[in-house]
């Protein structure tokens, strides 16, 4: 187990923005056929790390290894060429465009018509229907604009597009953040399916309830550092919840809030407008 | 990969088919323009049936619609790509003046003069595109600047060279007869003269529609207008697409400029001023969204026909032509309202269907 080579690895990576240290000495390994959950609160450095992994940022210090070899990625395009696909929160889908146009955008299938080339629309529509059908999404009308589909369906389209175009690493940036329970469940299904296909899935979330059912490996970030790096068997769900919530921090916050409740309003020194509002009410 | 087919609940199948039919009708981008065209046609058919329902009437309508349509098609492509070009109208004047001055003052054959005008037009289009993509400024402002520069230069240079504000006698230059034959000649059909610019218009409409709907470049145009960043992330050369679209509107301006001098035998320094908004109106009536990413070449052509019908119909009906622009304003508003309604309707139906699928 320990001797396996990670598909993707960062070693002692730091990222500075001017004088602000966004990421400090972070090391992480991501394996094929596994779901690695990257957890952390807002501002923990999750977005900085995935932007380094997906080629948007270059690390200030440290190494980036893909299939055991050091690489330097200058753009998301270069990452994509290696098979590192990122599905961002805003999805990179064009809302007014149809499902099939979105699916093949930037990699359009073409057919020859004498000396000129046209878009192979039949192939595109057929393929989209098939590929999404495998994902459990049945498209009655491939001409439907993506903007009219549900959040879960859109995530699914973006994920299946990455898989179809041969991704080896699938980076998902908060794919379940804005979704209801049923829709989030749909996305978690796709994460498991992608893992079964042998992809290294990097699942960024701040919701341990979404991470726990699918994760093989959990990395918790806090203030730009790795707070913990655990295999699934080293943890219980309660441990994960506790780590995520910030453990001691949470207990401290709870005590503070209780103390606050016992104090009368006037004594706290509320801002003037709040007092006015209370007085007027 | 196992493909287990989940069967729909009984009874939903029929409902979905029905939804699909209603939606596909409402989703036609051109539906607003088509309704508008039929309404205007019926209006004038009722008011002035004698002239309106004749071959002459059709020829008269298609004459202004053809050159306007060519411009509206190029402008529609650019608008779908998410940008505006306010220098299109004045470009028809600039190119005509360049070709006219080079041929009449320097004694050039008209063809190389026209070629130079094309190169300059493409250059201006390239600069427009480059400025918009490099600076990130709204194209509305950038091309408004181009519009004023060209408008000034048109009058300034023409007066400097000819001491007048027009270039006459282009028909006496070498190569004029062929240019007239190619760009704008009268063709006799059933004893009525149709302009050959109509043929150009139809060919360009078919070609542009094919590129937009049936090639990858068309997808790229929709994508850069819908979300240029997302398109770029997926490998669409967004900057090149936008620059190419600005060059397309400039080239269309050149073509119409050549049609004008071939027909009028002269070029006027004020040619085309104010027309840029007419092109945008035609494209908008045809279903183009001002925010980009949506629209139709065929719709823009129908918009041009509506414009032609209004222009000719008001004369046929014996109304005061002063009211032409007011009529146009009402048409624009009505078409945009219809477009807005149909688009929202299509989305509501799709949204309801999506909800039914994921939650029901």
Q: Which residues pair with B268 in a beta bridge?
A: B166
Structure confidence at residue A214 (pLDDT): 93
Q: Please indicate whether, in this complex, the C-beta atoms of B354 and A97 are within 8 angstroms of each other.
A: no
Nearest CA in chain B to A135: B3
Report which DSSP code applies to A216: S
Q: How confident is the model at residue B242 (pLDDT cuts 50, 70, 90)?
A: very high
The predicted model gives B129-141 an average pLDDT of 95
Q: What are phi and psi of B182, to 5 degrees?
A: -75, -45
Helix (H) or strand (E) holding A65: strand A61-66
d(CA B31, CA B345): 12
Which pair of structure tokens corresponds to residue B287? 């279903």
A59 vs A16, B103, B200, B243, CA distance in Å?
Answer: 8, 61, 55, 33
Q: Please indicate whether, in this complex, the C-beta atoms of B219 and A108 are within 8 angstroms of each other.
A: yes
Nearest CA in chain B to A109: B216
ipTM of the assembly? 0.83
Q: Chain A within 8 Å of B227 (Cβ-Cβ)?
A: yes
Question: What's the CATH code, domain A8-96+145-245?
Answer: 3.40.50.300
Structure confidence at residue A26 (pLDDT): 92
Residues of B in contact with A97 (CB under 8 A): 219, 222-223, 226, 293
Residues of B in contact with A138 (CB under 8 A): 6, 357
**Could you tell me where the DSSP H helices lie in chain B?**
12-27, 31-47, 49-52, 55-80, 88-105, 110-135, 139-162, 176-183, 197-214, 216-226, 228-233, 238-264, 275-285, 297-316, 324-359
A268 vs A139, A254, A275, CA distance in Å?
Answer: 57, 18, 11
Q: Please indicate whether, in this complex, the C-beta atoms of A118 and B359 are within 8 angstroms of each other.
A: no
Predicted TM-score (pTM) above 0.95 = no
Q: How confident is the model at residue A146 (pLDDT cuts 50, 70, 90)?
A: confident
Q: How confident is the model at residue A279 (pLDDT cuts 50, 70, 90)?
A: very low
The predicted model gives B172-187 an average pLDDT of 92
Q: Chain A within 8 Å of B355 (Cβ-Cβ)?
A: yes
Q: Chain A within 8 Å of B219 (Cβ-Cβ)?
A: yes
Helix (H) or strand (E) holding A212: helix A208-214
Nearest CA in chain A to B226: A94
The predicted model gives A8-22 an average pLDDT of 91
Task: Choose the mutation target among B233, B238, B294, B347 for the interface with A, i.e. most A CBs under 10 Å.
Answer: B233
d(CA A136, CA A129): 10
- Looking at the predicted structure, is the pLDDT value of residue B240 above 50? yes
d(CA B273, CA B148): 10
Q: Chain A within 8 Å of B9 (Cβ-Cβ)?
A: no
Own/partner long-range contacts of B327-336 (Cβ < 8 Å, ≥24 apart): B328/B278, B328/B281, B331/B36, B331/B40, B331/B285, B331/B306, B332/B281, B332/B284, B332/B285, B334/B36, B335/B32, B335/B33, B335/B36, B335/B284, B335/B285, B335/B303, B335/B306, B336/B32, B336/B284, B336/B285
- For all residues of chain B together, what is the average pLDDT? 87
Domains (ranges, CATH) in chain B? 29-345 (1.10.3470)
A–B interface: beta-carbon pairs under 8 A: 98
Nearest CA in chain B to A111: B215
Nearest CA in chain B to A147: B347
Give B1→chain A minimum CA distance, Å.
Answer: 7
Please say whether the beta carbons of B281 and B288 come within 8 A.
no
Q: Chain A within 8 Å of B354 (Cβ-Cβ)?
A: yes
Please say whether the beta carbons of B349 and B23 come within 8 A.
yes
Neighbours of A69 (CB within 10 A): 7
């Amino acid at each position: 187990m320990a001797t396996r080579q990670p598909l993707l690895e960062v070693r002692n990576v730091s990222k500075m923005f001017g004088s602000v240290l966004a990421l400090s000495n972070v090391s992480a390994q991501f394996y094929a056929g596994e779901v690695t959950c990257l957890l952390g609160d807002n501002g923990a450095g999750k977005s900085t790390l995935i932007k380094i992994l997906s080629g948007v940022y270059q690390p200030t210090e440290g190494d980036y290894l893909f299939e055991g070899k050091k690489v330097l990625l200058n753009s998301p395009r270069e990452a994509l060429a290696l098979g590192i696909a990122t599905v961002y929160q805003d999805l990179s889908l064009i809302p007014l465009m149809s499902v099939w146009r979105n699916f093949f955008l930037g990699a359009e299938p073409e057919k020859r018509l004498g000396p000129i080339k046209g878009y192979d629309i039949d192939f595109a529509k057929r393929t989209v229907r098939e590929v999404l059908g495998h994902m459990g999404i049945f498209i009655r009308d491939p001409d439907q604009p993506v903007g009219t589909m549900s959040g879960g369906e859109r995530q699914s389209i973006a994920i299946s597009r990455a898989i179809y175009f041969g991704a080896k690493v699938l980076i998902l940036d908060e794919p379940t953040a804005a979704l209801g329970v049923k829709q989030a469940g749909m996305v978690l299904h796709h994460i498991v399916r992608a893992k079964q296909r042998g992809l290294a899935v990097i699942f960024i979330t701040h919701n341990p309830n979404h991470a726990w059912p699918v994760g093989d490996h959990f990395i918790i970030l806090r203030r730009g550092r790795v707070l913990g790096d655990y295999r699934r068997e080293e943890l219980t769900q309660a441990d994960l919840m506790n780590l995520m919530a910030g453990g001691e921090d949470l207990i401290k916050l709870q005590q503070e809030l209780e103390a606050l409740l016992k104090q009368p309003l006037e004594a706290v020194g509320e801002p003037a407008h709040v007092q006015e509002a209370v007085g007027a009410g | 990969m196992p493909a287990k087919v989940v069967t729909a609940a009984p009874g939903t199948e029929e409902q979905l088919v029905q939804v699909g039919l209603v939606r596909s009708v409402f989703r036609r981008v051109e539906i607003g323009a088509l309704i508008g065209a039929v309404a205007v046609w019926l209006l004038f058919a009722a008011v002035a049936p004698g002239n309106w329902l004749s071959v002459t009437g059709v020829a008269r309508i298609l004459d202004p619609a053809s050159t306007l349509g060519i411009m509206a098609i190029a402008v529609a492509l650019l608008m779908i790509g998410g940008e505006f070009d306010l220098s299109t109208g004045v470009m028809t004047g600039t190119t005509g003046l360049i070709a006219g001055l080079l041929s009449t003052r320097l004694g050039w054959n008209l063809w190389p003069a026209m070629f130079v005008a094309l190169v300059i037009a493409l250059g201006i289009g390239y600069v427009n595109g480059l400025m918009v993509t490099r600076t990130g400024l709204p194209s509305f402002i950038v091309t408004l600047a181009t519009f004023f520069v060209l408008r000034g230069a048109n009058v300034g240079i023409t007066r400097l060279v000819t001491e007048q504000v027009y270039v006459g006698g282009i028909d006496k230059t070498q190569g004029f007869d062929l240019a007239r034959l190619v760009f704008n000649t009268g063709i006799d059909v059933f004893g009525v003269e149709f302009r050959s610019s109509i043929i150009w218009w139809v060919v360009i409409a078919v070609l542009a529609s094919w590129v937009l709907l049936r090639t990858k470049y068309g997808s790229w145009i929709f994508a850069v207008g819908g979300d240029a960043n997302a398109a770029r992330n997926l490998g669409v050369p967004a900057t090149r697409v936008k620059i190419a679209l600005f060059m397309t509107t400039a080239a269309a301006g050149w073509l119409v400029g050549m049609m004008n001098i071939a027909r009028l035998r002269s070029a006027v320094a004020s040619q085309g001023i104010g027309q840029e908004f007419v092109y945008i109106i035609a494209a908008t009536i045809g279903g183009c969204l001002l925010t980009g990413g949506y629209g139709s070449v065929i719709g823009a052509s129908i918009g041009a026909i509506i414009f032609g019908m209004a222009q000719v119909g008001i004369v046929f009906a014996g109304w005061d032509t002063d009211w032409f622009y007011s009529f146009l304003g009402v048409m624009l508003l009505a078409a945009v309202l219809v477009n807005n309604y149909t688009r929202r309707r299509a989305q509501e139906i799709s949204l309801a269907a999506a909800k039914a699928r994921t939650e029901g």
